[in-house]
């Protein structure tokens, strides 16, 4: 909800209280109930069924990195929480990249890599982050070694997960494309 500003946070708080008291959510900022649900990341389509935020991300990445044309897939969803934001990033390269090598590279770039055992995977808590801390919560290598999936959490009120996602892509492209 913090991505929608103060009004978004207040709406989630209001809807949460109303729903916990067996009342209707009465959405105002978001197009439908935002508390306790997952929403699409936008309401406008680009004509082909692609949502505007997905298209914007794809075009932005392809403009920054022309070599990615045709290899970028974006899918956006919004899970309204009060503060913090997480981004799922999937990357596929021409040469293999082991998960351990990717973690070392990301740590060397100043990113905090969460040390999670298998039982903690998927417990990305962006609310626990410091202002400028970006945490790689989960890293999964693909079967053939050419792809990686990352779960990145940040305090979007004070920093921004999308910015860090682009910075991570820049590092991967610079070193592995």
Beta-sheet strands, E only, within the chain: 39-40, 77-78, 85-92, 112-113, 134-141, 147-154
Task: Give the three-class secondary structure for 51.
Answer: strand
Q: What is the pLDDT of residues 144-176, one digit of tens each?
A: 777 777 766 666 555 555 566 677 777 777 776
CA torsion through residues 86, 156, 110, 116, sign: negative
The answer to whether the beta carbons of residues 13 and 82 sit under 8 Å apart is yes
- Whole-model pTM: value is 0.53
CA torsion through residues 83, 75, 100, 177, sign: negative
Q: What is the pLDDT of residues 43-60, one digit of tens each?
A: 554 555 555 666 666 676
Q: Which domains does the chain have, with CATH numbers?
A: 39-176 (3.30.360.10)
């Amino acid at each position: 909800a913090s991505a929608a500003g103060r009004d978004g946070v207040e709406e989630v708080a209001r809807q949460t209280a109303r729903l916990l008291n067996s009342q209707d959510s009465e959405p105002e900022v978001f197009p439908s109930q935002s508390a306790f649900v997952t929403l699409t990341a936008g309401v406008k389509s680009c004509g082909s069924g692609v949502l505007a935020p997905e298209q914007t991300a794809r075009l932005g990445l392809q403009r920054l990195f022309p070599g990615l044309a045709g290899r970028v897939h974006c899918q956006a969803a919004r899970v309204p929480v009060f503060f913090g934001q997480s981004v799922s990033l999937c990357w596929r390269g021409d040469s293999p990249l082991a998960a351990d090598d990717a973690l070392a590279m990301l740590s060397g770039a100043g990113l905090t890599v969460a040390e999670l055992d298998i039982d903690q995977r998927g417990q990305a808590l962006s609310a626990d982050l410091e202002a400028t801390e970006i945490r790689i919560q989960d890293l999964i290598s693909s079967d053939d070694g050419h792809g990686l999936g990352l779960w990145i959490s940040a305090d979007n009120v004070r920093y921004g997960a999308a910015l860090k996602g682009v910075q991570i892509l820049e590092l991967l492209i610079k070193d592995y494309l």
